[in-house]
Structure 1
Amino acid sequence: MASLAPSTAAPLVVGIGGTIGSVSSTERALRIAVEAAGAEGFRTRVFGGADLARLPLYDPRAPERTAEEQEFVATVRQASAVIIASPGYHGSISGVVKNALDLLEETARDPRPYLADMPVGLIATAYGWQATGSTIAALRSIVHALRGWPTPFAAAINSQLTKFDDEGSASEPAVVDQLRLVGRQVARFAPLAGTIESKT
């Protein structure tokens, strides 16, 4: 296992989310939140829809991992905080986001397994309000199972009402403020989580 970045480096906030095929509202929302964490002086890395699409379906018995799987796991190992954004599909999170989170089983025997002790910001987008609530609830449950700490505020976005643009903003200023709050909250708690130096 590779050593992590020196403890003197700024904490890393990792964003995970998006959909396959295009830069979605979910990924645009995620990037607004991650950029807010970056504005607080943190390093950031986003695994958007195109990145998640390159991850094969998680097979716990696979003899080796692809380069994309290795990069994803290694980056999360270095993180001090995570922001997860998912579209609401049939009342829950999307398969592509769940697949990425399943891959964190590779960290089960680490000194800090899964998302243990990390602040985790949550974002859900859906075409209507009902699925946003159930998707946030599902994300909270998953983060608890991964031993992470969901931040107090989660952003639920109704994509019927809010439209995102290519410039990193949205039609509803209040939604942008909510997303930035998610980023600021994970940034606030990230230094408390830190990283655990791994043995080589």
Structure 2
Amino acid sequence: MKNRYLKFSTLIMLVCFGLTTILPAAALAGPKHGPIFKHVPPGGQKVRHRGDDYFFHRGLFYRHGPKGYFWVRPPLGIIAYSLPVAAVTVLIGGLTYYVYDNVYYRRVPAGYQVVQVPTQTTTIVHTPPAVPMNPADSGTQVVVMSKILNVRSGPGINHAVLTQTYMGNVLIIQGSASDWYYVRLPDNTYGWVMKAFVTMPHNGAQG
């Protein structure tokens, strides 16, 4: 009986010790999505959205709680002044989106607006937007000469990269502007490529 009592007492002590070591660690772990700040991060801007106050800093939104300022997922319709650093550009249904942590943004005059997740999950055929047309070029095939060629959202290296195409791929010219072609890719998506990295295919005719 005495040994059984000692074993039970030892078990209780071990459980109590475990709780005293685990609970403080859990309490200090903070919220799932990041730390809590005592003050708004330096450079943060206040954003009013549908009656609620948010604070925007480097592409992320914060709310104020009892313990300080904590990160939140941005609500639909709110406008960010800039995108999160790790945001990626995707083309879905002919529209350009910017995505970070499964939050979708569209470019608007004031910045980047949070929008509904598109119902289409893959890039599809779409009608190309109006671009400068050269009747002599439209419909012409060109072949990619570089190993990897960036396909951009506009005619310039300052425009976002939508996707990439590869050596030997055949592209169909839709329009042109200066040193750029607006082309249709093999998967029926569209974008701008530099003329310097494509060439007209050889038809093999001789004599």
Q: Same fold by TM-score, threshold 0.5 exceeded?
A: no
Query: Relative to total residues, which structure has the larger helix share, 1 or 2?
Result: 1
Point out the structure with max Rg over C-alpha. Answer: 2
Instruction: Normalising by structure 2, report the TM-score.
Output: 0.20
- The structure whose RCO (Cα within 8 Å, separation 6+) is larger is 1
Provide TM-score, normalisation by structure 1.
0.21
